[in-house]
Chains A and B, each alone.
Chain A
Amino acid sequence: MKGKTALKTGGLIALWIVVALFLLFPFYYAVVSSLRDGSAIFEASLWPANPTFANYEAVMTEQPFARNILNSLIVAFSVVVLSLGLATFASYAFGRARFKGRRLLLYTILGVSMFPQVAVLSGLFEIVRMFGLYNNLLSLIFSYMIFTLPFTVWVLTSFMRDLPVEIEEAAIMDGASSWTIVTKVFLPLLAPALVTTGLLAFIAAWNEFLFALSFTLTNEQRTVPVAIALITGASQYELPWGNIMAASVIVTVPLIVLVLFFQKKLVAGLTAGAVKG
């Protein structure tokens, strides 16, 4: 009996290792490739023989990659602040108040989150052109609302609903306005939820590709995903893989650190967003 259990545990651990290897290997290999320079990159070995940071230097000097990172940060931060601001007030209304059309509105918003982005592309093109925002980061900050707003509203609504009634009732009895209740009473209580939702919105905005590819033109205005996708070499068949892998590692490491640091909160937010929204 005991031997059987040990065998089972051993088998499970082996399975774990196989799964973990499959999950982690591609990123490991990207790191290894980014540390190899010149012809060494074409040897498909599993560790860097003579590690060098030449690729990192190249990707930062041969193109405005620092600018691209800055662009992505500006866009992602603006999107997070705007959508959290709008969604906090909306979620108070959806989570705490009973008003006509509440259900219909919530389901409409849920519907928007399922939109294929390409379905609004020509309409957005028109707006972006009309306001002269083509090749301008504002066009991205504006258009990213279509995917960050619905899910921040849904997740924050579900958090709002779970907050205790007594605090709010006491505040209303004291004559506090709804504005005061949201900003002074609920906002501090919502802080953990805001961190989670904000982080998810940040990641979504940081990773977006279709709008960024379509609404920007010059290298200086590109965000990170577009910049990486469009890194080209001397010819189509000579992609500078070292540079691409270095750029990939640069933008992914902070994200992985962030995700691992907040992993409990993120998993809770993801499952709340999926189960309730």
Chain B
Amino acid sequence: MSARSAIDKARARSAWIFVTPMLIVLALVAAWPLARTIWFSMTNATLVDLTTYDFIWFDNFIVHAEGRWYGIFTDPQWLRALWNTLVFAAVSVSLELVLGVIVALIVNAALPGRGLMRAAMLVPWAIPTVVSAKIWQWMLNDQFGVVNAMLQGAGFVDGPVAWLGGSSLAMVSIIMVDVWKTTPFVALLVLAALQTLPKEIYEAARVDGIHPVKVFFKVTLPLIKPALIVAVIFRLLDAMRMFDLVYVMTGSSEETMTLSVFARQALVSFQDVGYGSAASTGLFLIIALITVIYIMALKPLGRERAE
């Protein structure tokens, strides 16, 4: 008894010493810059001179002046970016989830070469996002791209398709690339969950002659639900802050601009730190809301694991 409490005391004493350096770095790199961004969002600071500015309260977010509305919440470009981000996140995450489960089920089937398949799944994940963006940009090139050459060769289209050329097709293309790159990640998570399932249930279901589709919906899906929830939240947060794929493939084109691209453009390209910070703060609040919901959902799961 006394030995155990001595151990606990020794641990607790050193605990804070061990945690502090990491916390200082996190405070410097995350907490302080975030606080400054929120502060800047209520100023008219510019990138040229970050030290002189006026405090203008919420004018960067919404303000009525001279009979007109200003601020990001009434800025059609910001609203378009919000819409783009939501569409991108909703469609890509749904597709990745459904395809990820299907791929995981295919790979989970006991066949020779399963290891090879898993290795192939890691390739899109291992390619840097900027590189994937460039490769797909080249493949989707309207004049010389291999995708158009294949589609025309097969007779699916008459002329070259302008995949990234400023129409709603650009968003479709970007979602397709994201699905290509991230479905394997979701599939790996689902696969890990599938491999923990007890074999006996499936044996019993097979003996009872229950249709595999029914087994999937009644047995497999409920059992892998926790893993699916985690995968969805992870992907959703990632999709909400999407920057590099869109920036590299279509630049600041209005059809595909996401909230992150909008914020960086205001901040760096237009040097408007106040407005850019307001846009960043808006995105931060949206993501913070999702994170809080996630942690609330995770808490009961963690408790189950601890017991």
Contacts and interface: CB of A to CB of B under 8 A. Distances in A.
Given A120-B37, A274-B230, A90 B184 contact: no
A256 B188 CA distance: 16
Contact of A96 (B11, B34, B35, B294): B11
A26 B135 contact: yes
Contact of B145 (A44, A118, A119): A44
A16 B117 contact: yes
B25 interface: yes
B121 A15 contact: no
B7 A169 contact: yes
Interface stretch (B69-77, B89-97, B203-211, B261-269): B261-269
A229 B192 contact: no
Interface stretch (A27-35, A48-56, A57-65, A190-198): A27-35
A207 B130 contact: yes
A129 B123 contact: no
B213 interface: no
> Interface residues of B toward A: which range?
35 or more
B122 interface: yes
B138 interface: yes
B50 A125 contact: yes
A93 B111 contact: no
B127 interface: yes
A180 to B, nearest CB: 11
30 contacts: A9-B111, A24-B123, A26-B127, A44-B145, A44-B150, A90-B19, A93-B16, A94-B19, A96-B11, A98-B8, A99-B12, A105-B19, A114-B291, A116-B284, A116-B287, A119-B283, A119-B287, A121-B263, A122-B33, A122-B276, A125-B50, A143-B29, A145-B29, A172-B6, A178-B13, A209-B247, A228-B134, A252-B131, A255-B126, A266-B122
Interface of B: 3, 6-8, 10-19, 21-23, 25-26, 28-30, 32-37, 40, 47, 50, 103, 106-107, 109, 111, 113, 117-136, 138-139, 141, 143-146, 148-150, 180, 184-185, 188-189, 192, 227, 230-231, 234, 237, 240-241, 243-244, 247-248, 259-260, 263-264, 267-268, 273, 276-277, 280-281, 283-284, 287-288, 290-291, 294-295
